[in-house]
Structure 1
Amino acid sequence: MQFAICVLTIGIAGPALCRSGDVIAEKCGMSGSWVGLILLASVTSLPELVIGASAVTIATMPDIAVGDALGSCVFNLAILVVLDFLQRGESVYRRARVGHVLSAGFGVVLIGVVGLNVLLDRSGIGLGVGHVGSYTFVIVILYALAMRTVFSYEKEHRADYVEEIAERYPQLTLKRALLHYAIGAAFIVAAGVWLPFVAGTLADTMGWRTTFVGTLLVAAVTSLPELAVTVSAFRLGALDMAIANLLGSNLFDMAIVAVDDILYTKGPILSHVSPIHAVSALSAMIMTGIAIVGLLYRPRKRLFGAIGWISFGLFVMYLINSYVLYVHYE
C-alpha cells in the first residue's frame, strides 16, 4: 500500500509538474526540442534526483540510487515503443528529426562511462579523489559538453526545426504556472524521499534484492512523469519535444549518478554497488544504438501492423534486460 501511494503521488504530481513546465516554456518563448531536452527532461527526472540523494544519504542504499538511474534510462527508451504504437500510419522514426541522434550519441557515451566504471570499481582498479570517483568529473564535463553542443546545434538549425504550435494555455499566466510547478515539485520530493525506504522494505518482504527492485520497480515508478509528458506531447503534435524529453532524461539521469557519488561519503558509489548494474548500462547503450539506427534509416515497414521493427527490437531488449536482472541479481 505504501508503494502504491508513492506511485499515485508521482503519477499525479509528475504530469502536473510537466504541464506547468510546458506552460512556463511557452510563456518564455522556448522551442519544442529545447524544452523537451532541458526543461521537461530536468523536471521529469526530479524523482530520480531526489530518490538518489535520499537513498545515499538517509537510507544508505547505493544500489537503489544507481539502479534507479540506469533502470530509468532503459525504461525511457522503452517508452519509444509506446510512441510508435500510438503513431498510426508511418513509423514514428520517419517523423522525428535526425538531430536527436546528437543527444542520443552523448547518451551512449555517458551511460558507457557509468557502466565501465561499475566494472572497474568493483574490480578494485577504479580511481578516485577522496570519496568521489574520477568518473564523476568525467560525467560532469561530458554532460556540460553535451548541453553546449546540442544548444549550438539547435541554435544553428532553429529556423528549420522550430515547431509552429498555437498558444495552448491562453488562460494560464506565468505566475500561476510557477505556483503549480512549485506545488508539484513538493509532492514529488516528498514521495521521492519516502520511496527508497518502501523499496527496501518491499525487497525484504518479497525476497528480492535491492538491485532488482531499484532497477525495475523504482525506475518504472520514477519514469511515470516521463511517460505522461511524452504521451501528452505526442498527442499535442510535438513529437520532437516528446523524444527530446526521453533522450534528455537519460543524459540527466547520468548526471544524477555524479551527484549521488558526491553525496555518498563512504567512498566512490560505483564501488559499493552490484556489478549487475553493468547489464542495465549495456542494455541502455544497445537500445540507444537501435534508436539511432531508426532515426537515421527511417524504416517504412511495420510489424503486425502495429509497431516498426526498431520498436520491436527495443521491446525485446527491455525484456532481456528485465529477465537477466531478475534471474542473476545479487
Structure 2
Amino acid sequence: MSSELLTSLGLFVGGVVLLLLGGDLLVKGAVALAERHGVPALTIGLTLVAFGTSAPELALNVAAALGGSTALTFGNMTGSSLTNIGLVLGLAAVVRPVKVQSSLLRRELPVLLGTVVLLLTLSWLPNHLDSRRQLGLSRLDGVLLVGCFLGFLVMLLRAAKQPSKVGAALASDATEVVRREPLLSWRLAVVMVLGGLALLGLGGKLGEVGATGAAQALGLSEQLIGLTVVSIATTLPELITSLMAVRRGQSDMAMGNVVGSNIFNLLFILGTTSIIATVPLPGGGPLILMAVLGFTLVLFPLSITFDWTITRPEGLLLVALYLAFMGWQLWVGLTST
C-alpha cells in the first residue's frame, strides 16, 4: 500500500471521526437551545434530531462542492439514500421488526417518492451547465430543491402542532428522545453548537481531501468512492440512531429516521451543493438514480404488508439487495480501471 494511499485513508478516517463528533455536539447543543427557547419537544424531535444525523453529510458535501468534487457529492448523496434504505432500515428490521406509522405512509413516504422523481427529472433535463448542455443539476435546480425542502419543513412544523396527525406512538417516541437529553446551560449549549460547527467544517474538508486522494491512488472514480465508502461512513449516525431506537422498542423511529434523512439529503444537501457548484450527471449516474427510485418504491409494499410492519425476512431482503447492488458497482468500477 503506497504512502499516498495511506495518507489519504488517514485523512478520510480522521475527517469522518471529526464529522461524527461535530454532528453529535451540534445536535445536542441545538436541542438544548431549542428547549431553552420553549420549543416543544415533539417539534425538536421531528426536525433537529431527525435531520441532525445528516449534519456530517452536509459538511462533507459542502466542502466537496467548494473543492469542485461534484462527482463525489453525487455519489455520496445517492449512495447515502441507498445505504439508509438497504443497510440501515434493513439491519434495523433484522434486529426487531419495524412498525410503520400510517401518518408516515400518508405524508413522508409520498414526499420522498416525489423528491426522487423530481431529482430524476431535473438531472435528465438538458440545462445550461455549459455550452454542451450537459445533463445534471444547475444552480437554479439547487434553488428549487432547497425551496421544496423548506416547504416540507413547514409541513412538518405544522404537523408537530397536532400530535394526532403525527401518530401517537411516533409522537411519544420523538418526544422521549428529546427529553432523554440533559437540559444544558445556555453557555454550554452555545459552546457545543460552535464547537460542533468547527469540527464539522474541519472534518468535512479532511474527509473530502482524503476521499478524493484515495480515489486517485486506487484509480477509482470519485463517484464510486462517494457511492460506497463515503456514503457508509457518513451514514453511521443514522445507523447508530436507528439500531438504538429498535433496541429500545422504538422501531417506528427507525423508519422515520431513514425517510427523513433521505428527504434532507436529496433536497437540502444536494440542493445546497448544486447552488455552490453545478453538479453534472456522471457516467453511470442515470442507473444509480433509477436504483434510488427502485429502493424507494420497494418501501411502499413492505410498509403495508404484515400488519404495517417490515419483518425480519423483509429486512434481510433489503440488506441483500443493497449488498448486491453495491457489490456490482464495485466490480464494474474495479474491472473498468
Using the size of structure 1 for normalisation, the TM-score is: 0.80
SS at match of 2:144: helix
1: distance between equivalents of 2:258 and 2:193?
Answer: 20
Check if 1:210 corresponds to 2:219.
no
Task: Confirm or deny: 8 A CA contact 2:12 2:207 kept in the other structure.
Answer: yes
* Letter of the structure 2 residue corresponding to residue 135 of structure 1: D
**Following TM superposition, by how much is the alpha carbon of 1:16 offset from its aligned partner in structure 2, in angstroms?**
4.4
1:261-299 deviation line (CA, Å, top 9, x unaligned): 1111xxx42xx3414233332222222222232332345
CA separation in 2, counterparts of 1:174 and 1:245?
28
Give the one of 290, 297, 314 matched to 1:310: 314
Alpha-carbon distance in 1 for matches of 2:309, 2:155: 33
Match of 1:182 in 2: 194
Find the partner of 1:48 among 49, 57, 75.
Answer: 57
Aligned partners of 2:50, 2:314: CA distance in 1, in Å?
Answer: 23
Letter in 1 for 2:63: S
Is the CA contact (8 Å cut-off) linking 2:64 and 2:70 kept in structure 1? yes
Compute the displacement of 1:14 (Å): 3.6
* Residue 327 (structure 2) pairs with residue 323 (structure 1): yes
- Superposed displacement of residue 2, structure 1: 2.2
Q: Which residue of 1 aligns with 2:203?
A: 191
- 1:68 matched residue in structure 2: 76
Show CA shifts across 1:153-178 (max 9, x none).
44344375230649424564454344
Shift of the 298–211 alpha-carbon distance from structure 1 to 2, 3 Å rule, reads same
Q: Which residue of 1 aligns with 2:146?
A: 140
1:111-260 residue pairs with structure 2 within 5 A?
Answer: 111-121=116-126, 132-158=138-164, 160-161=167-168, 162-163=171-172, 165=176, 167-170=179-182, 172-173=184-185, 175-254=187-266, 255-260=268-273
2:142 alignment partner AA: T
Are the counterparts in 2 of residues 73 and 250 from structure 1 also a CA contact under 8 Å?
A: yes
Residue 277 of structure 1 pairs with residue 285 of structure 2: yes
Asked whether the equivalents of residues 98 and 309 of structure 2 are also in contact (C-alpha less than 8 Å), the reply is no
Closer, same or farther in 2 for the Cα pair 1:97/1:148, shift >3 Å?
A: same
SS in 1 for 2:125: helix
Conserved? CA contact 1:14–1:224, under 8 Å: no
Q: Does 1:30 align with 2:43?
A: no
Q: How far has the Cα of 1:198 moved from its partner?
A: 0.8
Residue in structure 2 matched with residue 80 of structure 1 by the alignment: 89
Q: Aligned AA for 1:86? A: V
Distance 1:153 1:30 in 2: 12
5+ long unaligned stretches in structure 2: 1-9
Superposition deviation, residue 74 in structure 1: 1.2
Query: Once the two structures are superposed, what CA deviation does each residue of 1:145-198 show, in whole Å capped at 9, x if it has no partner?
Result: 322333334434437523064942456445434432332332122111111111
CA distance in 1, matches of 2:253, 2:40: 11
Q: Give the letter aligned to residue 277 of structure 1.
A: G
Q: In the alignment, what sits opposite 2:19?
A: 10
* Alpha-carbon distance in 1 for matches of 2:308, 2:144: 39
C-alpha contact 1:126 1:133 (8 A) present in aligned 2: no
* 1:322 partner SS: helix
Shift, 1:127, TM fit:
8.9
Q: Residues 55 and 127 (structure 1 numbering): CA distance in 2 closer, same or farther, change over 3 Å?
A: closer
Cα pair 1:127 1:133 within 8 Å, conserved = no
The one-letter amino acid of 1:256's match is I
TM-score (norm. length: structure 2) = 0.78
Which shifted more, 143-152 or 73-82? 143-152
Q: Root-mean-square deviation (CA), in Å?
A: 3.2
The answer as to 2:110 corresponding to 1:105 is: yes
Match for 1:85: what amino acid? Answer: V
Tell me, which stretches of 5 or more residues in structure 1 are unaligned?
none
User: What is the rounded CA distance, in whole Å, between the counterparts of 2:41 and 2:265 in structure 1?
Assistant: 22
CA, structure 1 residues 25+171, in 2 after alignment: closer, same or farther (shift >3 Å)? closer
Post-superposition Cα deviations, 1:214-253, rounded to whole Å, max 9, x if no partner, equal: 1111111211222233334444554444432322221111
- Greater shift after overlay, 207-216 or 235-244? 235-244
In the alignment, the residues of structure 2 paired with residue 286 and residue 98 of structure 1 have an alpha-carbon distance, to the nearest angstrom, of 21
